C-alpha cells in the first residue's frame, strides 16, 4: 500500500488521469493558506477591520471590501484491493393447517373453519415445513478505502465533497476506469483544525496482477485558493486469494399466535425458538394449540392468526408464513320432539304369459274322405307368472314440537320407508316433507305437517307385509343442540299393511307364430299346402275390494290369422283365414265371506274356398279356421285373506279339404 498526503492548488477538478498526479506536492504536505489579514481568530479581527465608510485609513487611498471566510484543507487517501467470494443460502418456509373432524377449511356455505361453543375446546394443529435451498455463489471485486480530510484553515468548510477515480496502469501511464462520489453526509462540515476519515467501497471488474490507483479529489466551496480542491492518491492490487464467506447457512425458527378476545390458547407443543442447522434440511415441525372458548358470545366469528417466523443467521431478514382460521361460536340452539301417523293402502299388479310349446302345432295328412269338425277338445296351455308388483301408498301427519327456548332455524323433515332384509333395515323410499306452510317453530310451538309417498315391491305375494316394513320420520334443524350428538330427532313406526289390497290386476298376454306344411301325395307332381299362423292372446282380470263389496271384471281378446299357401311347380295360390273371440264380463258380491265367479266359452270360425290347379284341372279346396276359448275366473275371500283362480283354455285349428282328380288319390285333410 502506498499512501500520500497532498495539498495542491488546481485550476479545475481532475477529469482525466493522463497528467502525472503522483506524490509531488508543490506546496508541501504541511502547506496551508493563511487567514485573511494574518489574524488567528478570523471573525473578530476581520470584523474590526471592516470599514463602515466613515473612516478611511491613513495608509489606504481607497475603500477595500471585507475579506471572505476562506480556509484550506489537506487530504490523505488509503486504498486496498478487495476480492470476496460469498456462498449465500436462501430458505423457504410453509405453514399449513391440519384438517380433522373439528377443523375443516371453510366453504362458501359454511364461512368458518371450526366451531367452538362457549365452554368448549378444540385442538388446532399446524405443520411447519422449512427447507434450505441450494446456495448461490457470488464473487465481488473492487476497492476498499478511506479518505482522511483535515481542515488546515481557520474557518469551517463549506460544501465538502469527495470524488474518487479508479485508474489502472503502471508508472506514469494510468487511465480512468470509474469515478464515484464518497458519502460525506455523516460529517458534512469540518471545523477549523478538525480531521475526519470518510470510508468508501466500490465494486468493479478487477483482475489479478494489475496495478490500480485510487485518486481522491476533495473540494470545498470556500477554499482559499482558486483551485478549490486537493487530491490524494494510493496504488493497490487485488489480493492473491479471495476471502471466502458462507452466508445464512443456519437459521432460527419460532411460532407466534394472536389470541382473539374471549378465548384462551394453550400450546400443547413447543412454539420455539428452534435453531436449525442447514445441513439437516429439510425440517418439519408440528405445533398443537388447544383453543378454549371462555366467554366469547354465540353466533359470532373470530379469527385466530398463527405465524411461523424464520430468521437466517447472517442477513436476519425474516421469512414468514401465516395461517388464519375462522372460529364460529355456534348457533343459538334448541331441541325438538316428533311423532307421526301413517295410513297404508296398496294394489297388486300381476303379469302372466302363456308357455305355448313348439310341439303343439300338428300337420296331419289323411288320405280318406272326412268331414270338417265343427269343434274339438281344447288344449290346455301353461300360464307363467312374469311379475308380481305391489304399489303402496302411505300418507299421514308428522307432528314436530320445539322443546327449547329459541326459534328453530332451517327446519327440515324427511320420511323414510324401510324393509327388513333378514339382517338389517334397508331404505326403500325417502322423501322430503314440505315445511313451507310453517318453516319456523317458536319456543314451545308445535305443528303437524302432512305427507304422502308411494313405493313398489316385487314378488309381493311372497312377502310377510305385516312385519317387514317400518316408517321413519326425522326432523332436523341447523341450530339443534349439538351436545345431543345429532342434528335432530327420529320417530319409528311399524307399517300396518291391510291384508286386502284396494285392487288386484292380473294381465295375461301372449303372441305366438307357427308354421306347418302338409305335402300332398301326388304321383307326378310335388305339391304342398303351408299354414302360417299368428295367434295373439290377451286377458285382463280386475278384482276390486271396497268395504263389504267385491267386484270381479274379466276382459278377454283372442285373435288368430292363418295364411294358407298352395305350391305345385309354377302354380301357386293363397288364402287368408281370420278368427277372433272377445269377451267382457263382471260379477259383484257382498258379505263377510264372499266368492265371485266369471266364466265363459266361446268359438269362432272362418270358412273359405281356394281354387288350385292339379295336372291341368281346376280343383276347389275348402278351408276352415276354428278358434275355441274358455275362461273360468273366481275370487274367494274370508278372514284369512283371498284367493284368485284363473283357468284358461284355448284351441285353434286350420283345415284344408279337397277331392283330387280320378286318377289320383283323394287329397287328405
Look at residue 152 in the predicted model and tell me its pLDDT.
93
Residue 22 has pLDDT above 70, yes or no: no
Instruction: List, in order, residues 6 or more apart from 315 with CB less than 8 Å away.
Output: 247, 248
Last residue of a domain, one of 211, 241, 271: 241
Strand-pair partners of 338:
400
Of 563, 463, 544, 455, the closest CA to residue 501 belongs to 544
Look at residue 358 in the predicted model and tell me its pLDDT.
63
Of 492, 140, 128, 163, the closest CA to residue 321 belongs to 128
Residue 20 lies in a domain: yes
Strand-pair partners of 636:
595, 643
Residues 521 and 593 in one domain: yes
Residue 8 has pLDDT above 90, yes or no: no
How does residue 111 score in pLDDT terms, banded at 50, 70 and 90? low
The pLDDT of 469-494, averaged and rounded, is 87
According to DSSP, residue 45 is labeled H
Look at residue 26 in the predicted model and tell me its pLDDT.
34
User: How many other CB atoms are there within 10 angstroms of residue 327's CB atom?
Assistant: 24
Residue with the larger pLDDT of the pair 449 and 486: 449
Residue 112 lies in a domain: yes
Residue 589 to residues 462, 506, 549, 597, Cα–Cα distance (Å):
27, 19, 6, 9
Residue 362 has pLDDT above 90, yes or no: no
Residue 365 lies in a domain: no
Look at residue 369 in the predicted model and tell me its pLDDT.
44
CB 48 within 8 A of CB 134: no
Residues 552 and 518 in one domain: yes
Look at residue 46 in the predicted model and tell me its pLDDT.
37
Which range is most confident: 370-379, 464-473, 658-667?
464-473
The pLDDT of 476-488, averaged and rounded, is 80
Residue 378 lies in a domain: no
The chain-wide mean pLDDT, for the chain, equals 82
Last residue of a domain, one of 207, 241, 275: 241
Residue with the larger pLDDT of the pair 339 and 38: 339
Residue 374 lies in a domain: no
Look at residue 106 in the predicted model and tell me its pLDDT.
62
How does residue 445 score in pLDDT terms, banded at 50, 70 and 90? very high
Last residue of a domain, one of 465, 494, 523: 494
652 class by beta-carbon count within 10 Å (0-12 exposed, 13-18 middle, 19+ buried) = buried
Look at residue 215 in the predicted model and tell me its pLDDT.
95
Residues 156 and 41 in one domain: yes
Look at residue 278 in the predicted model and tell me its pLDDT.
87
CB 529 within 8 A of CB 564: yes
Residue environment code for 147-177, b if the CB has 16+ CB neighbours within 10 A, otherwise e: bbbbbbbbbbbeebbbbbbbbbbeeeebebb
Residues 164 and 279 in one domain: no
Domain with 543, as residue range(s), is 503-657
The pLDDT of 533-558, averaged and rounded, is 91
Look at residue 663 in the predicted model and tell me its pLDDT.
52
Least confident of 84-98, 104-118, 164-178, 404-418: 104-118
Residue 373 lies in a domain: no
Residues 168 and 125 in one domain: no
Residues 80 and 98 in one domain: no
The pLDDT of 250-255, averaged and rounded, is 94
CA-to-CA distance for 231 and 240, rounded, in angstroms? 29
For the stretch 377-395, pLDDT in tens is 545 567 788 999 999 999 9
Residues 516 and 649 in one domain: yes
Residues 619 and 515 in one domain: yes
Look at residue 593 in the predicted model and tell me its pLDDT.
67
pTM over 0.75: no
What total number of domains does the chain contain? Answer: 4
Residues 305 and 275 in one domain: yes
Contacts 24+ apart (CB under 8 A), 418-425: 418/469, 418/470, 418/471, 418/472, 419/457, 419/468, 419/469, 420/467, 420/468, 420/469, 420/470, 425/470
Residue 588 has pLDDT above 50, yes or no: yes
Residue environment code for 103-122, b if the CB has 16+ CB neighbours within 10 A, otherwise e: beeeeeeeebbbbbbeeeeb
How does residue 345 score in pLDDT terms, banded at 50, 70 and 90? very high
Residue 1 has pLDDT above 80, yes or no: no
The pLDDT of 184-197, averaged and rounded, is 95
Look at residue 27 in the predicted model and tell me its pLDDT.
33
CA-to-CA distance for 147 and 480, rounded, in angstroms? 81
Sign of the alpha-carbon dihedral angle for 6, 12, 18, 20: negative
The pLDDT of 296-316, averaged and rounded, is 91
Look at residue 23 in the predicted model and tell me its pLDDT.
38
Residue 357 lies in a domain: no
Residue with the larger pLDDT of the pair 611 and 105: 611
Residues 261 and 186 in one domain: no
Looking up residue 182, the CATH number of its domain turns out to be 2.60.40.10
The pLDDT of 146-173, averaged and rounded, is 91
Residue 68 has pLDDT above 80, yes or no: no
Residue 375 lies in a domain: no
User: What are the two backbone dihedrals, phi and then psi, of residue 349, each rounded to the nearest 5 degrees?
Assistant: -125, 120
Residue 457 to residues 347, 351, 388, Cα–Cα distance (Å):
11, 14, 8
Residues 469 and 582 in one domain: no
Residues 563 and 624 in one domain: yes
Look at residue 402 in the predicted model and tell me its pLDDT.
95
CA-to-CA distance for 259 and 580, rounded, in angstroms? 92
How does residue 3 score in pLDDT terms, banded at 50, 70 and 90? very low
Residue 413 has pLDDT above 80, yes or no: yes
Residue with the larger pLDDT of the pair 372 and 499: 499
Amino acid at each position: 500500500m502506498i499512501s500520500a498526503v497532498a495539498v495542491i492548488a488546481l485550476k479545475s477538478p481532475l477529469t482525466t488521469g493522463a497528467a502525472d498526479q503522483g506524490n509531488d506536492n508543490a506546496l508541501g504536505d504541511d502547506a496551508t493558506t493563511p487567514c485573511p489579514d494574518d489574524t488567528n481568530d478570523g471573525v473578530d479581527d476581520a470584523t474590526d477591520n471592516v470599514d463602515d465608510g466613515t473612516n478611511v485609513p491613513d495608509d489606504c487611498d481607497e475603500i477595500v471590501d471585507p475579506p471572505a471566510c476562506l480556509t484550506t484543507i489537506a487530504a490523505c487517501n488509503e486504498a486496498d484491493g478487495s476480492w470476496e467470494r460469498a456462498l449465500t443460502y436462501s430458505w423457504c418456509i410453509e405453514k399449513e393447517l391440519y384438517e380433522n373432524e373439528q377443523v375443516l377449511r371453510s366453504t362458501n356455505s359454511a364461512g368458518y373453519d371450526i366451531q367452538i361453543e362457549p365452554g368448549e375446546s378444540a385442538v388446532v394443529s399446524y405443520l411447519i415445513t422449512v427447507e434450505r435451498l441450494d446456495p448461490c455463489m457470488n464473487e465481488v471485486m473492487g476497492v476498499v478505502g478511506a479518505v482522511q480530510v483535515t481542515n488546515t484553515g481557520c474557518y469551517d468548510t463549506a460544501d465538502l465533497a469527495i470524488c474518487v477515480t479508479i485508474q489502472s496502469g503502471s508508472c506514469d501511464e494510468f487511465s480512468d476506469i470509474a469515478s464515484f462520489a464518497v458519502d460525506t453526509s455523516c460529517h458534512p462540515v469540518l471545523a477549523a483544525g478538525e480531521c475526519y476519515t470518510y470510508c468508501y467501497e466500490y465494486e468493479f471488474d478487477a483482475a489479478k496482477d494489475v496495478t490500480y490507483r485510487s485518486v481522491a479529489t476533495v473540494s470545498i466551496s470556500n477554499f482559499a485558493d482558486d483551485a478549490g480542491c486537493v487530491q490524494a492518491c494510493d496504488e493497490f492490487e487485488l489480493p492473491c486469494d479471495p476471502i471466502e464467506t458462507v452466508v445464512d447457512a443456519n437459521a432460527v425458527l419460532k411460532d407466534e399466535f394472536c389470541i382473539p378476545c374471549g378465548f384462551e390458547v394453550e400450546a400443547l407443543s413447543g412454539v420455539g425458538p428452534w435453531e436449525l442447522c442447514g445441513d439437516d434440511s429439510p425440517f418439519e415441525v408440528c405445533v398443537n394449540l388447544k383453543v378454549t372458548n371462555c366467554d366469547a358470545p354465540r353466533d359470532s366469528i373470530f379469527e385466530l392468526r398463527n405465524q411461523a417466523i424464520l430468521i437466517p443467521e447472517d442477513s436476519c431478514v425474516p421469512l414468514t408464513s401465516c395461517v388464519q382460521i375462522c372460529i364460529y361460536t355456534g348457533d343459538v340452539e334448541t331441541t325438538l320432539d316428533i311423532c307421526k301417523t301413517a295410513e297404508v293402502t296398496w294394489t297388486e299388479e300381476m303379469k302372466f304369459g302363456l308357455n305355448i310349446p313348439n310341439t303343439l302345432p300338428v300337420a296331419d295328412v289323411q288320405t280318406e274322405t272326412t268331414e270338417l269338425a265343427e269343434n274339438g277338445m281344447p288344449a290346455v296351455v301353461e300360464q307363467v307368472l312374469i311379475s308380481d308388483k305391489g304399489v303402496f301408498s302411505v300418507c299421514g301427519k308428522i307432528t314436530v314440537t320445539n322443546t327449547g327456548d329459541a326459534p328453530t332455524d332451517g327446519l327440515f323433515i324427511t320420511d323414510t320407508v324401510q324393509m327388513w332384509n333378514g339382517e338389517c333395515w334397508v331404505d326403500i323410499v325417502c322423501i322430503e316433507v314440505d315445511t313451507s306452510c310453517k318453516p319456523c317453530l317458536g319456543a314451545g310451538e308445535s305443528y303437524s305437517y302432512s305427507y304422502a309417498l308411494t313405493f313398489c315391491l316385487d314378488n309381493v305375494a311372497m312377502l310377510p307385509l305385516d312385519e317387514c316394513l317400518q316408517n321413519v320420520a326425522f326432523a332436523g334443524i341447523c341450530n339443534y343442540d349439538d351436545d345431543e350428538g345429532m342434528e335432530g330427532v327420529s320417530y319409528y313406526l311399524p307399517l300396518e299393511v291391510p291384508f286386502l289390497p284396494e285392487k288386484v290386476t292380473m294381465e295375461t298376454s301372449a303372441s305366438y307364430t307357427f308354421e306347418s306344411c302338409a305335402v300332398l301325395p301326388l304321383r307326378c307332381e310335388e305339391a304342398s299346402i303351408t299354414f302360417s299362423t299368428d295367434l295373439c292372446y290377451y286377458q285382463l282380470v280386475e278384482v276390486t275390494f271396497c268395504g263389504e263389496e267385491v267386484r270381479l271384471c274379466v276382459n278377454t281378446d283372442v285373435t288368430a290369422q292363418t295364411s294358407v299357401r298352395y305350391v305345385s311347380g309354377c302354380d301357386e295360390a293363397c288364402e287368408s283365414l281370420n278368427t277372433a273371440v272377445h269377451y267382457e264380463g263382471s260379477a259383484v258380491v257382498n258379505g263377510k265371506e264372499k266368492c265371485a265367479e266369471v266364466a265363459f266359452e266361446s268359438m269362432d270360425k272362418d270358412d273359405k274356398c281356394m281354387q288350385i290347379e292339379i295336372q291341368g284341372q281346376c280343383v276347389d279346396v275348402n278351408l276352415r279356421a276354428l278358434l275355441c276359448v274358455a275362461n273360468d275366473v273366481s275370487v274367494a275371500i274370508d278372514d284369512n285373506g283371498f284367493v284368485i283362480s284363473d283357468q284358461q283354455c284355448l284351441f285353434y285349428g286350420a283345415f284344408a279339404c279337397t277331392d283330387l282328380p280320378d286318377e289320383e288319390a283323394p287329397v287328405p285333410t
